[in-house]
Amino acid sequence: MFQYAFGRALSVKNNSELKLDIHSLGRAREIGNIYRPYGLALFNINQNLASLSDIETHRKPVNLLTRIKSRIKNTLWGDQTNLFKPEYLNQTGNIYLDGYFQSPRYFEKVRPILLNEFTLASPLLEYGSKILDQIKSSQSASLHVRRGDYLSNITVKKRFGPCSKDYYLRAVSKVKAEIKGVKFFVFSDDIAWVKTNLELSEDTVYVSNPILKDAEELSLMSSCQHNIIANSSFSWWGAWLNQNLNKLVIAPTPWFDTIDYDPQLLPKSWSQLTK
């Protein structure tokens, strides 16, 4: 979503066509062999998939000759950090973007477009629709707890660092203190851990369910009035897409343990608690 958002911002700025290279998304990724299938098709995005010939034209340079050709074609190879580089926003011409681009400063000017495009292309089915009705009829707060690979994968755990139980306890306490009658909606890959370790009210709704697609969970999360997020791009987007002008968003800091990132990754209006 970060990559699409940056590409979309450049396409709008330059009045140019945006194509998506999804050919590598079916393979295991380098970090922790995490499988990340393409999922943006579930949104109302400007989906224009690049062909193999399109990609070959801008394939990453592997020798001096192809490096020279890539410069002529104005290919941009973004580095694999999460730092904001304002010069990237000045790129024009035929560009191939390769990087994370995890900063809202890349796409804040096209926020209205993204709010519209990152909506579900198909309506929620019965289970999701019932959850949405509960969210809309209450002082709802999403609570996202990511564990999984953040604990089981040594490399991922070292770089990202999972949020502690204490972080969630403090976040829940803060929301309860500031939002009267708040009702929590839990999104997690480890619901059992949440039920065992966090003292939530009896009317708490545990949303995550195999029948829901990732995009549907994210959409439900963004529909909540308030958000408690993990240091995960999944719940970051859930909070960023939340259009409640008076929303309370609680986010963990530092976002990464051993990776540099844009200090403005977390908007100033969001409350930050040590994770």
pLDDT band at 62 (very low <50, low <70, confident <90, very high): very low
**DSSP letter string, 171-231:** HHHHHHHHSTTEEEEEEES-HHHHHHH----TT-EE---TTS-HHHHHHHHHHSSEEE--S
Please give the mean pLDDT across all residues of the chain.
88
Q: Please give the pLDDT value at position 70.
A: 47
117 or 93, which is more confident: 117
Pick the range with the lowest mean pLDDT from 64-73, 86-95, 186-195, 207-216: 64-73
79 DSSP assignment: -
**Would you call 204 exposed, middle or buried from its count of C-beta atoms within 10 A (0-12, 13-18, 19+)?**
middle
Stretch 154-171: mean pLDDT, rounded? 86
Q: Please give the pLDDT value at position 60.
A: 55
Q: Of the spans 26-40, 50-64, 103-117, which averages the highest pLDDT?
A: 103-117
Answer yes or no: is pLDDT of 190 > 50.
Answer: yes
Gap between the Cα atoms of 25 and 130, Å rounded: 32
Q: Which two tokens stand for residue 161?
A: 């660092």
Gap between the Cα atoms of 252 and 214, Å rounded: 22
Half-sphere exposure of 233 (CA within 13 A, CB side): 12
pTM of the model: 0.89
**Tens digits of per-residue pLDDT, 95-131?**
888 888 999 999 999 999 999 999 999 999 999 999 9
120 DSSP assignment: B
pLDDT band at 263 (very low <50, low <70, confident <90, very high): very high
pLDDT band at 94 (very low <50, low <70, confident <90, very high): confident
Share of the chain above pLDDT 70, in %: 85
For the domain made up of 126-274, the CATH class stated in words is: alpha beta
pLDDT band at 222 (very low <50, low <70, confident <90, very high): very high
Kindly list the domain boundaries of the chain, sorted by start residue. 2-117, 126-274
Least Cα distance to 23 among 71, 62, 64, 55 occurs for 55
